[in-house]
Amino acid sequence: MGMTIAEKILAAHSGHDYVVPGQLIECRTDWVLCHEITTPAALRMLEERGMDQVFNPDQIVAVPDHSVPAMNIKAAKMYQKLKSWVQEKGIKHFFDVGRGGIAHVVLENTGLMKPGQTLVSGDSHTCNAGALGAFATGVGSTDLAGAIYAGKVWFKVPETMLIRVTGQAQPGVTPKDIVLEVIKRIGADGANYMVMEWVGDYIDNLDMEGRFTLTNMAIEAGGKTGIVAVDDTTRAYMSARGVTPDQYTEYQSDADATFKVIVEVDAAQVEPTVAYPHIPSNGRVAGSDRIAVSHAYVGSCTNGRISDLRDVARILKGRKVAEGVQMIVVPATQAIWKQAAQEGLLEIFVDAGASVSYPSCGACLGMHSGVLGPDDVCISSSNRNFVGRMGDPSAQIYLASPATVAASAVAGFISDPRAYNDTINAAD
């Protein structure tokens, strides 16, 4: 019987020739990603049991990202805990504040995480790295503790959902719109405990940044992870990071692999999509209602990459954020921040009246640097719009692509970015 990519990776990491969905396996983890929010709890569990060791300090990547730079004493202590552990255990790959950014985006860019590998982290958007043709998933602090200690985790082998995206998207329609459309169709629990494998000529033609946006949001449909098979785009991405094909394993799903569900998407039919409060599956066409916004946020591990910032700059160039709208742009990493500066994007944002913040998760989860107050209405390029996600429970969050966020910031109400298609084409 054929296997999917995910099944092949899990078999290879658990000493089996093949695995089937539902099977319980003990899986080797090639990488463990640690940030300052969930790692301290895992470390405490290990310390309390006298098991305070790491399986391999060279296979742990530590990136403080949520509450940095610290906004209060509690956050400063969490950061200290992560940092002192890193120093004590000799964790090799530590991306300190000022040298990192949002952990998932830092990791995807390092060349450390490779196709065919496994990754766990105490963060639900770990699925992001699946775009590299890898198996990457979020775990709770207990499993995180086990992974740090032993380099292993237990998994029930997930079933796989195949999502075939064909055709060309209209100008102004981005991977974020595609994934919001898929989640709208299947529901916020539509892929529960499944791997979401993305295929089709739309995916073949998509760059790595767009693929990360797709796999990043698997968890918003309940997915165990998202995955894209390795192709020339992946190989070029790895090679740009000094990693050659002999350093990793490529897997493809077999022709007779079993997919629990198959979802077909015609990219040309997808419109700029906005997920209305309070669930990412609540998608509607951008601009179909007149909804005034008080805040616009571009950033996060879903859409804080350089291509996202370029999309925003094309729309903001020579324009102003509407009076009464507070816009925040957060490049996902220091490297992206620098690239955006070099390309003149930050200047465009500032000239338009947007604040540019330092790389962190801050506003995305309402921790700091852009917390929403009562009844604020935010159009956000992030991934979740749950009640209270960005601050006060009465605030309303609408999820959209960076282009839609920019178009809405300029208009002062949620708007269709296709109105700027001429601008977009002219800039390309």
Residues in region 106-165 near ligand SF4 by CB under 6 A: 123, 125
The residue range among 70-78, 123-131, 260-268, 281-289 that interacts with ligand IPM, by the rule CB under 6 A, is 123-131
Q: Residue 102 touches which of ligand SF4, ligand IPM, none (CB < 5 to 8 A by kind)?
A: ligand SF4
Q: Write down the least CB distance from residue 425 to ligand SF4, Å.
A: 30
Q: How far apart are CA 90 and CA 54, in angstroms?
A: 10
Residue 313's contacts (CB-CB under 8 Å, 6 or more residues apart) are: 343, 344, 345, 348, 349
CA torsion angle for 352, 384, 197, 238 (degrees, to 10)? 50
Q: Residue 382 touches which of ligand SF4, ligand IPM, none (CB < 5 to 8 A by kind)?
A: ligand SF4
301 is an annotated ligand-binding site residue: yes
86: left (phi over 0), alpha (psi -120 to 50) or beta: alpha
283: left (phi over 0), alpha (psi -120 to 50) or beta: beta
Task: Confirm or reject binding of residue 104 to ligand IPM (CB under 6 A).
Answer: no
Q: How far apart are CA 276 and CA 379, in angstroms?
A: 9
Q: Give, as one character, the DSSP assignment of residue 364.
A: G
Considering only residues 4, 14, 29, 38, which one is a binding residue for ligand IPM as defined by CB under 6 A?
38
State which residue, 115 or 362, has the beta carbon closest to ligand IPM.
362
Residue 52's contacts (CB-CB under 8 Å, 6 or more residues apart) are: 43, 46
Considering only residues 382, 396, 401, 408, which one is a binding residue for ligand SF4 as defined by CB under 6 A?
382
Q: Residue 191 touches which of ligand IPM, ligand SF4, none (CB < 5 to 8 A by kind)?
A: none
Residues in region 284-313 near ligand SF4 by CB under 6 A: 300-301
Considering only residues 61, 102, 208, 411, which one is a binding residue for ligand SF4 as defined by CB under 6 A?
102
Closest CA to 278 of 393, 375, 404, 402: 393
State which residue, 10 or 102, has the beta carbon closest to ligand SF4.
102
Task: Confirm or reject binding of residue 78 to ligand SF4 (CB under 6 A).
Answer: no
Closest CA to 359 of 93, 77, 170, 96: 96
Task: Confirm or reject binding of residue 123 to ligand IPM (CB under 6 A).
Answer: yes
Binding-site size for ligand IPM (CB under 6 A) equals 8
Residue 415's contacts (CB-CB under 8 Å, 6 or more residues apart) are: 286, 287, 404, 407, 408
Q: Please give the residue whose beta carbon sits closest to ligand IPM in the complex.
A: 124
The residue range among 117-125, 176-184, 225-233, 398-406 that interacts with ligand IPM, by the rule CB under 6 A, is 117-125
Q: Residue 38 touches which of ligand SF4, ligand IPM, none (CB < 5 to 8 A by kind)?
A: ligand IPM
Q: Spell out where 41-100 has E strands.
A: 60-62, 93-94
Residue 306's contacts (CB-CB under 8 Å, 6 or more residues apart) are: 209, 331, 336, 339, 340, 343
27 is an annotated ligand-binding site residue: no
Question: Following DSSP, what letter does each residue of 8-43 receive, concatenated?
Answer: HHHHHTTT-S---TT-EEEEE-SEEEE-TTTHHHHH
Q: Residue 37 touches which of ligand SF4, ligand IPM, none (CB < 5 to 8 A by kind)?
A: ligand IPM
364 is an annotated ligand-binding site residue: yes
Closest CA to 104 of 147, 61, 142, 141: 61
For ligand IPM, the binding residues (CB under 6 A) are 37-38, 66, 123-125, 138, 365
For ligand SF4, the binding residues (CB under 6 A) are 66, 102, 104, 123, 125, 300-301, 361, 364-365, 382-383
List residues forming the annotated binding site for [4Fe-4S] cluster. 301, 361, 364
